[in-house]
Chains A and B, each alone.
Chain A
Amino acid sequence: MSAPLTLPPNRSAALARLRDRLARLDRTAQDRATLPLAPEINQHLPWGGLPLAGLHELLSDAPGHATAFAALLLARAQARLTRRAALWIAAEPDAYMPGLAGLGLDATRLFLLRAPRQRDALWAAEEALRSPATAAVLLLGARTLDMTAARRLQLAAETGGGIALLLREEASTPGPTTALTRWRITPRALSATPHHLGPPAWEVTLLRARGGQPGTWLLEWDQATGQLATPAAAPAAERRRA
């Protein structure tokens, strides 16, 4: 790569060749296992679902908001990659299994790690992602994550084949990222009546996807079927481009 590239007069052909080469270098562009979300989102994403073996950022503006969504993804990763375990890494892991079991999370394959320093948390996440025994790693409360650290996590996830979820509590959207996707999760009270909470629902905004377009969806989780779906009652005006 050190030799300077001399562009031939036919520029478009050269560009096409370079694009092809980049696509071959980028392992995320290959066919890979994915986690299914709602059918609409699966169609929208370039991979046909949320790809495993990659880093995904979940942003939320208050503590606890996006935990349910992240836990749902953990449970789906556990179900997709049987015989592998999920890890919950936080400065003070406060996962409560009686509630999480309702989302389908398997307590026998969930391990909690206490990492008060971010350095340790990143090391543990990377070590776990590299291992073929990990289905998913949920890293909570990572602040000021630089590009190098995110890239390292991405590479580790590609090695091991598990999914890396980064849950960040930030009201504003942080700078650029090397993650495959970046989401903002906002909880919504869609079908709540004064004495009944109704199924959990979120407004899920895809801020960035590598090789894809952003978008916004309203999602509702049906506990009986365990499926994510866009509620029928949601007005079409809610579906807008971010």
Chain B
Amino acid sequence: MAGRRCARTPALPLPMPERRLRPPAPLPASSEPATGRRRFLVLHGPGIGEMAAWALRFSPLVGRLGPDALLIETTGLPEAEPALLARVLAAFERAGLPATGLLGAAPAALGALLRAGHPSAVLTPAEEAAALPHLPVTALALPPETILALHRLGLRDLAALEAQPRAPLARRFGGVLMTELAALRGAVAPYTPIRTPPRHVAARDFLEPLLTAPALAHALHRLVVELCEGLNAEGQGARVLRLTAFRGDGSWQELGQGLGQASRDPGHVERLLARRIEELRPEFGFERMMLAAPVTEWLDAQQAALAPEAGPEEALPQLLDRLGQRLEVWRLIPHASHWPERAQRRASPFAPAAPFTPAPRPLRLLRRPLPLEAVALLPDAPPSLLRHGGRAERVVSAEGPERLTPEWWQPGRQAPPRDYYRVQLASGARWWVCRRGEPGTPDARWFLHGYLC
């Protein structure tokens, strides 16, 4: 009985002939043509190409079309297109760079129309197609000699050009003209955004420009919370943060902040950024702030709330991040060299660590060895008296010498050999002293190179 019950698959709906599933009703066809899906705003004005980074405040995808034109991709922006165009133009006007702008589907066509003197407008694909035939050839993005040759042939505008058979045109003028003609008719020419758009951005506009540190801190707090929520939803942690603050007069300021370990902890991120607030210079106030995480990493979800304090595993990278903001922090890693000052190297605190092999070496190695005067019974005997800075130190016992010769396989290292002694002074201190040069020669000199234990 039990076997039969297991064998029967429970609760599967049997297809009934009269209740056959119907195929879903077809979706209503999209009213706009395929080329109309992506929308671009092309701006034209003298010197406007320099403002590409500033224009990132309107859309994350901005490209440069030469020194006098900008391309802003507006696909998917929530604002209504006429309002967006008016806002962008007003912002450029205030920034002291008056520009004309066209919002449409084919960037090449929009750029050409603007060069031909078209006033600012939002164009539907139909209007765009209607405006194109009257476009003079001089407005096209073509080399000057091609334009001259087209004029000689009597082809003055686009309608005349498009009426010609394509093959002779291509043979005569090459691929440049064909590409331009295709781009004008909506085959979108690829463009390179000035920055790859970050996946995680939080941005905020302010009615009143922000001037004071508390206001900035508050704005930062809300941006951080928003960004960290986005990161949390996707299971990511930020490795690099970029805070961009736009001033009212068209200038902007950017702060970059790296994190030693991927994090989406709002408290940590906010503490790191809050210390950078003093670097922000809101001359006439910031009217928009944008916090982006251009570099992110996968970060597994961790249980919070049971232990309010972060454990040592998370607290250490956070501490090193904070310390590294103000001071130089490093860790030491071994390096394969018997030359004392090269036997260890500085590494980033987040670099992989490696243990050292204990050696009879000093605990502190002086970066600049102190010159000593030594008295020895014989030229190659250990020192019996060391003088430094007017003080004489009697040597009670000495171990050595340990001769270190320079590494001949290292080019450009022609240092004389060194004889190291571990000496115990009568005062109790233990020094690591060395004689540089051959013993008995006049250029043999003594140095204190480190303190032993």
Contact = CB atoms under 8 A, between A and B. Distances in A.
Closest 5 CB pairs of A and B: A64-B451, A68-B453, A187-B428, A108-B353, A133-B316
Interface in B329-364: 329-334, 340, 343-344, 346, 349, 353-364
A221 B247 CA distance: 64
Interface string A50-90: 00000000000011110110010000000000011100000
Interface in A102-155: 102-103, 106-115, 120, 123-124, 127-128, 131-134
B453 A65 contact: no
A83 B312 contact: yes
Given A67-B364, A102-B453, A193 B329 contact: no
A235 interface: no
B362 A195 contact: no
Interface residues of B, number: 58
20 contacts: A63-B451, A64-B429, A95-B363, A98-B358, A99-B359, A108-B331, A111-B329, A113-B329, A114-B329, A123-B326, A128-B323, A131-B315, A131-B319, A132-B311, A133-B319, A189-B397, A195-B399, A196-B399, A197-B422, A200-B453
A99 B428 contact: no
**Most chain A C-beta atoms within 10 Å of own C-beta, residue among B346, B357, B360, B429:** B429
A197 B452 CA distance: 11
Contacts of A186: 428
A65 B364 CA distance: 10
A109 B313 CA distance: 12
Contact of A96 (B313, B365, B399): B365
Given A63-B451, A108-B355, A84 B312 contact: yes
B430 interface: yes
Interface in A187-215: 187-189, 192-198, 200, 202-203
* Contact-size category for A: 35 or more
Contacts of A94: 364-367
A111 B312 contact: no
A197 B431 CA distance: 11
A200 B311 contact: no
A22 interface: no
Interface of B: 309-313, 315-316, 318-320, 322-323, 326-334, 340, 343-344, 346, 349, 353-367, 396-399, 422, 424-431, 450-453
Interface of A: 62-65, 67-68, 71, 83-85, 92, 94-103, 106-115, 120, 123-124, 127-128, 131-134, 186-189, 192-198, 200, 202-203, 221
Contact of A98 (B346, B359, B424, B430): B359
A97 B355 CA distance: 9
Contacts of A106: 355
A138 B391 CA distance: 29
B202 to A, nearest CB: 27
Contacts of B424: 189, 192, 197-198
B315 A132 contact: yes
A115 B397 contact: no
A107 B363 contact: no
A95 B346 CA distance: 11
A132 B309 CA distance: 8
Contacts of B398: 194-195
A119 B399 CA distance: 41
A99 B331 contact: no
B332 A112 contact: yes
B349 A111 contact: yes
